[in-house]
Amino acid sequence: MIPVVYEGLCPICNGDLREEEILEKVCFLKNKKFDEICHNREEKDLEKLFEKVIGKPREIQKFWMRRICRGESFAAVAPTGIGKTAFGLVTSLYFAMDNRKSYIIVPTTLLVEQAAEEIRNFCMRLGLKVGLNSEGDIPVAFYHGRMGGGEKKAFGEILKEAKILITTAQFLSKRFDEIRDLDFYFIFVDDVDAILKSSKNVDKILNLLGFWKEGNEWKGRNKGILMVSTATASRGKATRLFRELLNFDVGSSFFTIRNVEDIIVKGNGIDIVRNILKRMGKGGIIYASSQEEAESYFEELKRDFKIGIAISKKKNDYEEFEKGNLDFLIGTAAYYGTLVRGLDLPEKIRYVVFTRAPIIKVRYEELSPNMLKVLALIFRKDERIKKFLPILPKIERYPKRIEELKRIIKEVSSKEKVEDMVIRDKEILFPDVKTYLQGSGRASRLTVKGLTKGASFLCESDENILKTFIKRASYFDIFFKEIENIDIEKLAVEIDKSRKRGVKKMIRPALFIVESPTKARLISRFFGKPSIKVYENGIVYEVATEKYILLVTACLGHVVDLSFERGFHGVEVNGKFIPVYASIKKCKNCNHQFTHFSSCPRCGSSDVQDSKDRIDILRKLASQTGLVIIGTDPDAEGEKIAWDLANLLAGVAEVKRAEFHEVTPRAVKQALENLREIDENRVKAQVVRRIEDRWIGFALSQKLWEVFGRHNLSAGRVQTPVLEWIIDQELKFKKKKKVSFLPELGIS
């Protein structure tokens, strides 16, 4: 390992951290392992309880335990079947045994009953007497609408004494006054959509956690923990309160990662669809281009197949399909439709069929301002359209100019050829790739078993529409194969195999560190809508991938720099050269950067940002995940940043390096598939370069300050020798040359 000292950055004693300690992962001064900062007694006790009543927890469940035991509220980002509800129940039992109340909110009456029964089973395994709406070692109050009068009375009598309360969201909405004054330490919401439908429900949750509203302002202090599932619906304004008061934002349970075989079928019609269903077997979803087409296909196909239809008039077939009484469902390819967005049955849905390529038809006279903006940018090379570009962001304010722009776009679009849209006489056809992505994604879902494989058949007879759809889809990294080149039987076997395999151990939490906040936000959105955790020194985006639950955050570049106070300009020279690094301080007032002093040496301001605070947050997150993936820039400087982070996080978590040369979904996914160790040869090059900067550039700069009395002058390791060379060449040029003179020959 490269010899190094990190001044004041030992995670145990806050003294120097040396390479020997990094290798041993031990603080020599206090003889403590670095991982002792990672775990506390509560966490170990909760893990032991989990093992007794359920079994060994998964990595993601251990991650949640660390958060719970540190008092953090959060949204649980996880695939279907990972055990969120079981985790919530065990956690509530743990707190009940410690005389702290919990509130479990589930979607349905059936789940209320199941949750109560699970608590009973857990208590039996522990040798405890549970009291379901009665007294016991662990009194549990549960309520649902099907209870009789006697049961409801028993519930009312035990409610205040109960350590665990289990209800639906409807109870919270209608009977909140009965629980308003109860002191809950842990609230687990397994149906966050039902809560988010009403801002009043969000207010009630916050009331239970110790907040109250005065006018438009929220008062109070958080006195408990809120754990929620990620949402499927739009999050709206209500969840902003979670972010403002509890430091987290609810994400989405719709992940954009997919493992779908995208297949083109050149043609349309009922016979083509019928043939696909026969060859692929049950578990198919059919997306028709309209409700009329869906009804027509349904009437034809129900003669040969156990098929249901999911349209506004008829919704019960969805439940029949879920129960296994139907093998197929047909509906419309609408972006906000039930079959496109509201369907999450990974074990049932094996493939989808689009009867036609999803498109958006827009007549010229119906072009919306937003659509006009898009088209104006597409045809911006036209001189007439160029004149509109300055007012384009605010074109809604100019109704007359909108009509003029529509007319010009109609003329220009009829003459110019565009690859990713179809232009007809009176309308423009846009490939609706987002609907295709959402719909085809129903066949490939992230589950506890991993990412299931699916297939999507895109039927289209219009060559122009098909060509533009393929082009537009390529922007989203979707590439099609023709059905003639597909072994259907082999594909069906692969699809079924992905649903039968055992539980994967690879789905685990990982801290993914990049350099900039913009890059962190962008990367997190490659995999879905992330949930957000807000810390004092940064934002963390949490999202699921096929192998990891990623916590994506930024280190903001270098976290350490050579010390100004130690050794020879930051290098200890004692038989060998050892660079000494200190955390970077930055003055918020004048942006001056330094490594020592508590206030700015330039302007005297005490408003100073210290990278040590950022290092502490990264250590905290790393201790929660147990795995760190460093995705800093793929150059020598990025490697040095990664090396510093790996040293500072040593013993807290396993550290790997991800290298990607472009910020695209494909590049990031490939980097996550091919993690590597840090390249110390590249690090050495950057270490030497920085020492050269300090020894040559900084030392020479100080000489300039002394001679000229100006501290804004600098002489770097590169520009100084280059400047010397330029001066030498200039002197040589100006130097007088000797001339020979031969008067006899007339030569000079």
CA distances 494 to 279, 280, 454, Å, are 14, 12, 9
3-state secondary structure 331-359: EECCCCCHHHHCCCCCCCCCEEEECCCCE
The pairing of beta strand 508-514 with beta strand 531-535: unpaired
pLDDT of 420 > 90? The answer is no
Distance CA 406, CA 384 (A): 12
The tokens describing 158, both together, are 């035990």
**Dihedral sign, CA of 514, 516, 517, 519?**
negative
| 41-249 CATH choice from 2.40.128.120, 3.40.50.300, 3.30.1330.10, 1.10.10.10 | 3.40.50.300
- Residue 421 is given by DSSP the state S
Q: How many CB atoms lie within 10 A of CB 124?
A: 12
Least trusted range by pLDDT, from 228-242, 260-274, 311-325, 707-721: 228-242
- For the segment 189-211, the average pLDDT, to the nearest whole number, is 84
In which element (H, E) is residue 164 found? strand 164-168
- For the segment 255-261, the average pLDDT, to the nearest whole number, is 79
- For the segment 234-259, the average pLDDT, to the nearest whole number, is 70
Q: What share of the chain is helix, strand, coil (3-state, %, to 5)?
A: 40, 20, 35
pLDDT of 67 > 80? The answer is yes
What per-residue confidence (pLDDT) applies to 316?
Answer: 80
pLDDT: is 704 or 285 the higher one? Answer: 285
Least trusted range by pLDDT, from 14-18, 433-437, 736-740: 736-740
3-state secondary structure 540-584: EEEEECCCEEEEEEECCCCCEEECCCCCCCCEEECCCEEEEEEEC
Distance CA 173, CA 158 (A): 20
Least trusted range by pLDDT, from 36-45, 202-211, 231-240: 231-240
The tokens describing 721, both together, are 């020798």
**Nearest-10 Cα torsion for 267, 273, 278, 284:** 130
pLDDT of 340 > 80? The answer is no
Q: How many CB atoms lie within 10 A of CB 643?
A: 25
- Assess if CATH 1.10.3470 describes domain 361-431: no
pLDDT: is 409 or 651 the higher one? Answer: 651
Q: How many CB atoms lie within 10 A of CB 547?
A: 18
CA distances 141 to 87, 152, 738, Å, are 19, 10, 108
The pairing of beta strand 422-423 with beta strand 508-514: unpaired
Inter-helix orientation angle 84-97/41-53, to 10°: 120
pLDDT: is 239 or 138 the higher one? Answer: 138
Residue 658: closest CA among 676, 643, 637: 676
The pairing of beta strand 17-18 with beta strand 5-6: antiparallel
Q: How many CB atoms lie within 10 A of CB 550?
A: 26
**Strand ranges inside 445-507, DSSP E:** 446-447, 450-451, 454-459, 481-482
R_g over Cα of the chain: 32
Residue 164: closest CA among 91, 86, 76: 91
The tokens describing 520, both together, are 């962190």
Highest average pLDDT, of 228-232, 246-250, 406-410, comes from 406-410
Residue 7: closest CA among 573, 644, 575, 566: 566
Distance CA 743, CA 748 (A): 8
Distance CA 339, CA 354 (A): 12
Mean residue pLDDT of the chain comes to 89
Which of the four pLDDT bands, split at 50, 70 and 90, describes residue 376?
confident
pLDDT of 739 > 90? The answer is no
What per-residue confidence (pLDDT) applies to 69?
Answer: 94
CA distances 98 to 46, 54, 64, 101, Å, are 11, 19, 19, 9
Burial 198-231 (b: 16+ CB within 10 A, else e): eeebbbbbbbbbebeeeeeeeeeeeebbbbbbbb
The pairing of beta strand 508-514 with beta strand 627-630: parallel
Distance CA 277, CA 498 (A): 20
Distance CA 188, CA 205 (A): 10
CATH of domain 260-358+432-500: 3.40.50.300
Least trusted range by pLDDT, from 28-32, 61-65, 90-94, 495-499: 495-499
What per-residue confidence (pLDDT) applies to 195?
Answer: 76
The tokens describing 326, both together, are 């139907």
pLDDT of 745 > 70? The answer is no
What per-residue confidence (pLDDT) applies to 235?
Answer: 55
What per-residue confidence (pLDDT) applies to 192?
Answer: 76
Return the percentage of the chain with pLDDT > 70, whole number: 93
C-beta of residue 540 within 8 angstroms of C-beta of residue 552: yes
Half-sphere exposure of 377 (CA within 13 A, CB side): 7
What per-residue confidence (pLDDT) applies to 342?
Answer: 59
Could you give the residue ranges of the DSSP H alpha helices within 501-548?
Answer: 517-524
- For the segment 598-619, the average pLDDT, to the nearest whole number, is 91
pLDDT of 112 > 90? The answer is yes
C-beta of residue 251 within 8 angstroms of C-beta of residue 75: yes
The pairing of beta strand 32-33 with beta strand 446-447: unpaired
pLDDT of 394 > 90? The answer is no
The pairing of beta strand 538-544 with beta strand 548-554: antiparallel
- For the segment 155-181, the average pLDDT, to the nearest whole number, is 94
In which element (H, E) is residue 464 found? helix 463-474
Q: What angle do CA 281, 286, 291 make, to 5 degrees?
A: 150
What per-residue confidence (pLDDT) applies to 461?
Answer: 95
Per residue in 456-482, pLDDT (tens digit) is 999 999 999 999 999 999 988 899 999
Name residue 229's beta-bridge partners.
Answer: 76
| Number of separate helices (H) and strands (E) present in the chain | 27, 38
pLDDT: is 335 or 207 the higher one? Answer: 207
Which of the four pLDDT bands, split at 50, 70 and 90, describes residue 70?
very high
- For the segment 724-732, the average pLDDT, to the nearest whole number, is 90
Distance CA 181, CA 540 (A): 34
C-beta of residue 479 within 8 angstroms of C-beta of residue 376: no
pLDDT of 748 > 60? The answer is no
Phi, psi of 439 (to 5 degrees): -65, -50
- For the segment 418-446, the average pLDDT, to the nearest whole number, is 85
Which one-letter amino acid corresponds to residue 385? Answer: I
Q: Do 260-358+432-500 and 361-431 have matching folds? A: no
Distance CA 390, CA 673 (A): 44
Which one-letter amino acid corresponds to residue 453? Answer: K
C-beta of residue 103 within 8 angstroms of C-beta of residue 183: no
- For the segment 380-406, the average pLDDT, to the nearest whole number, is 86
> Reduced to 3 states, what is the DSSP secondary structure of residue 132?
strand
What per-residue confidence (pLDDT) applies to 266?
Answer: 95
What per-residue confidence (pLDDT) applies to 213?
Answer: 86
Which of the four pLDDT bands, split at 50, 70 and 90, describes residue 506?
low
| CATH topology assigned to domain 506-681 | Rossmann fold (3.40.50)
What per-residue confidence (pLDDT) applies to 136?
Answer: 93
C-beta of residue 523 within 8 angstroms of C-beta of residue 506: no
User: In the chain, where are the structural domains located?
Assistant: 41-249, 260-358+432-500, 361-431, 506-681
Distance CA 169, CA 108 (A): 8
Distance CA 235, CA 404 (A): 38
Q: Which residue has the tokens 């210290």?
A: 610
Which one-letter amino acid corresponds to residue 390? Answer: P
The pairing of beta strand 74-76 with beta strand 32-33: unpaired
